[in-house]
Structure 1
């Protein structure tokens, strides 16, 4: 076999591996958007690797909860909110609260994502066409409108496999861009080890960032949408093992990509005493070390992160409503088109008012934390009900993980309330 044939077959295997990776890509799309990129960069630039422990716990619990929700779907054939409504005592009210809470958080996040993505494109254009600086507001708003209209039109053709393929492209580009960036700058390895020891930065905004971190990495939307994506993939009870591997792989990849972004920011900014307050500051992370190329690579990663999040954020409200009604989603229905159109209009509020997308983004991540305990408690109650699960028994390890996740989410929610009281 010639060398070129070996290389070709290796490339085919890598592509098959990436394409074979299932609903986990939606988990990465939900989790690592510009929200988490922003939180990781701000944290890395302000606190070095001090919050790595929060990231580690969030990813660990995310993996357990994705696994739990996925198993629930494969064994009962039901989706999450439909199950809440059907099996839990105050399930109807609980499900409605969850829909409102998650939609609020995700739509807020969408505003920040669109603002940051449009700003990134403006910065790339401004590097090449200096005359554009005089028309910053108009260019950013125009770009935001073009992005959201394009995504809305793509939604209308949508089928699960179509969304999955687009997400795979964006997520792969994002991961590669940030890993490339890590070659230019690294934090000290002692700081990485220290970051795994739990401490909260005792500075203004420290609590807010911890809450934002959990809100973005341990996102309730990721678990709740899991049954719908597992069903969309066509998986059944025969795919329990595959579902388990998919959950673990997704959690590991989220940790690696997020940790890489934090490390890049710590290596490039923290040691020089620089902080991030605007979109361009994020790209300046790398300019001193690698010049214009680094800025381009980094922007490309951040833009891919933003674009990979727009689909999941637009999808979340119609997904949750469909989940509540019947447990199935019809992307061709009138309801789907109307709800996604409203989400697109909400997304344009930030760019229209010229708001600072980084502040919007971090605030929206904090709001995501408050729905989390309800979503974790719901799945614990359903998995422990013999009536619902019949002969299937969830292992003790998964229960310990879920209760630990519940405790963690309550602590972080309290922390988030304190942070918001300090902020306002």
Structure 2
């Protein structure tokens, strides 16, 4: 038996490290933005918004598959193809770059703020005397985290980024799943959550938009062609690309639903909605105990760290995509843009703002470019001259059209929610 264990561990490690570009989809999708949205939704509305998560993950899987397929068949990346093949492609691509970068950089502020607060709260569980120095310590932690991330960006290539993300995502997934076994909702609540309803309370509409903004992130689909190319995949890997899309979307659903379920099981029935990072400590610890709380926090922290990488990468990725379809991580342009993103990320920690509220609002901004991103790939996938025998099937077209209508409804809903908020 002792001889078999290393072999089993090696197999598990090889399986995890063999994960394809879908790991970036999980990194983009499940960050502290997603975790925060799931915790706030689970603690405030129970499992009522599970249907939104199901639809978002199904559509995300289809969009990842469509964008990945286009890249493998044509060898072109998304925005470069928009600019080259679509009428009004240039202004559409520029609008998408501005919209997605703005949304992701806004998310980055909240992500870094929450991650720094979580590290501080973990220290606080074991060293309560540090409470008097919260602002100074949170800011110091945020600065250290962003400097380390920027250093990794400067020395890394695709395979390095992928391995770092695999580690964070694995820790995150296991942490949340173990927490779910300790605290869980009733099966009837899960079943009711699959019936489409919007919470008829203040902030309910914004929560729905934030859910879609974080689980159907435009950045996930737009960046996929570059990551597929970075992996070295070609048209021979079409089946592998399809499988990778399905696995990524499934894992996004499983991990996100686990977080919502933990928050529902532990906090919803106590009538204690989460509005700031400290709330997670005060409410989870009596229910789950110190170990489960630390485990859940490490999962949330891993979610944050796994998102900082992709969020810092998004602006140079989209710009490189638009210019040439190739990402050069050693270029001066890459270094300058990521440095500006790092400084932008420090806004919430510097001003001591509430990162949870900032995170929810920032997720809503992500939905506004989504209809353009979906419409663009529908037009490209149905271009027979480009796709030849790999043109979109009737089933994929039905799915993408449904995703387009869903995104338009959610964008309108998000605009109304933001108008009421401000």
> 5 Å matches for 1:199-218?
199-218=197-216
- In the aligned structure 2, how far is the partner of 1:247 from the partner of 1:101? 24
CA drift at 1:321: 0.3
Name the counterpart of 2:70.
Answer: 72
What is the match of residue 166 of structure 1? Answer: 164
Q: Deviations over 1:112-151 (max 9, x none)?
A: 0000001011112222333322211111111100000110
Partner of 2:401: 403
Q: Deviations over 1:238-287 (max 9, x none)?
A: 00000000000000000000000000000000011111011021234431
Bigger CA drift: 288-297 or 100-109?
288-297
Structure 2 equivalent of residue 264 of structure 1? 262
CA deviations 1:196-253 (Å, max 9, x no partner) are 0100000000000000000000000000000000000000000000000000000000
Counterpart Cα distance in 2 of 1:83 and 1:357: 36
SS of aligned partner of 1:370:
coil
Match in the other structure for 1:415: 413
1:42 matched to which residue of 2? Answer: 40
Residue 388 (structure 1) shift: 2.1
2:391 counterpart residue number: 393
Could you tell me how far apart the structure 2 residues matched to 1:252 and 1:283 are? Answer: 29
- Aligned counterpart, 1:276: 274
Matched, 1:13 2:15: no
* C-alpha distance in structure 2 between counterparts of 1:62 and 1:271, whole Å: 31
Distance 1:334 1:263 in 2: 44
Distance 1:92 1:382, change over 3 A: same
1:326-405 map, 5 Å = 326-405=324-403
Q: 1:80: Cα distance to partner?
A: 0.1
- Other-structure match for 1:197: 195
CA distance in 2, matches of 1:388, 1:85: 14
> Structure 2: how far apart are the matches of 1:192 and 1:128?
35
- How many residue pairs get aligned? The number is 422
Q: CA RMSD in A?
A: 0.9
- Provide Cα deviations, 1:163-188, integer angstroms capped at 9, x if missing partner: 00000000000001111111111100
Q: 1:283–1:298: 8 Å Cα contact kept in structure 2?
A: no
Query: 3-state DSSP class of the match of 1:391?
Result: helix
Aligned partner (choices 306, 311, 314) of residue 313 of structure 1 = 311
**d(CA) in 1 for partners of 2:162 and 2:391?**
31
CA distance in 2, matches of 1:285, 1:383: 48
Counterpart Cα distance in 2 of 1:287 and 1:139: 22
Asked if 2 retains the 8 angstrom alpha-carbon contact of 1:23 and 1:246, the reply is yes
Which sections of structure 1, spanning at least 5 residues, go unmatched?
Answer: none
Higher mean alpha-carbon deviation, 126-135 vs 155-164, is at 126-135
For structure 2, which runs of at least 5 residues remain unmatched after alignment?
Answer: none
1:60-99 alpha-carbon deviations (Å, 9 max, x no partner): 0000000000000000000000000000010000000000
Stretch moving more, 287-296 or 191-200: 287-296
Q: CA deviation at 1:11?
A: 2.1
Is the CA contact 1:122–1:136 (under 8 Å) kept in the aligned structure 2?
Answer: yes
User: Matches of residues 128-277 of structure 1 in structure 2 within 5 Å?
Assistant: 128-277=126-275
Counterpart in 2 of 1:322?
Answer: 320
**Structure 1 length-normalised TM:** 0.98
Q: Distance in 1 between matches of 2:33 and 2:144?
A: 21
Distance 1:128 1:248 in 2: 40
Q: Secondary structure at the match of 1:286?
A: helix
- Structure 1 partner of 2:82: 84
Q: Does 124-133 or 404-413 show the bigger shift?
A: 124-133
Matched residue, 1:109: 107
Contact 1:52–1:192 (CA under 8 A) maintained in structure 2: yes
Contact persistence 2:183–2:288 (CA under 8 A):
no
Give TM-score scaled by structure 2 length: 0.99
Q: Distance in 2 between matches of 1:141 and 1:236?
A: 44
